[in-house]
Amino acid sequence: MTATPIVLLHAFPLDHRMWDDVAAELARTHVVLAPDLPVAADEPLPAASLDEAADRVADVVRASGHGRVVVAGLSMGGYVALALLERHPDVVAGLALVDTRSTPDTPDAAANRLRVARDVEAAGSVEPVRGMVDTLLGETTRTARPEVVERVTAWIGEQDPARVAWAQRAMSARPDRTDVLRAFGGPVTVVVGDEDAVTGVDAAEHMTSSAEHALLVVVPRVGHLSAVEDPAAVTTALAELAQRVDGV
Q: How far apart are CA 104 and CA 96, in angstroms?
A: 18
CATH number where 33 lies: 3.40.50.1820
What would the pLDDT profile of 194-220 be if each residue is shown by its tens digit?
Answer: 999 999 999 999 999 999 999 999 999
| Confidence at residue 1, expressed as pLDDT on a 0 to 100 scale | 59
| Confidence at residue 91, expressed as pLDDT on a 0 to 100 scale | 97
* Structural domain contains residue 90: yes
* Structural domain contains residue 17: yes
Answer yes or no: are the C-beta atoms of 210 and 59 closer than 8 Å: no
Q: Tell me how far the alpha carbon of residue 58 is from its chain's centroid.
A: 15
Q: Give residue 16's domain range.
A: 6-103+175-246
Q: What angle do CA 238, 243, 246 make, to 5 degrees?
A: 125
* Structural domain contains residue 242: yes
E-state strands within 75-146 = 92-98
pTM for the full predicted model: 0.97
Q: How confident is the model at residue 2 (pLDDT cuts 50, 70, 90)?
A: confident
Q: How confident is the model at residue 66 (pLDDT cuts 50, 70, 90)?
A: confident
* Structural domain contains residue 167: no
Q: How far apart are CA 135 and CA 85, in angstroms?
A: 28
* Structural domain contains residue 135: no
* Structural domain contains residue 205: yes
DSSP 16: G
| Confidence at residue 67, expressed as pLDDT on a 0 to 100 scale | 85
Number of domains in the chain: 1
DSSP per-residue letters across 223-244: -S-HHHH-HHHHHHHHHHHHHH
95: left (phi over 0), alpha (psi -120 to 50) or beta: beta
* Structural domain contains residue 166: no
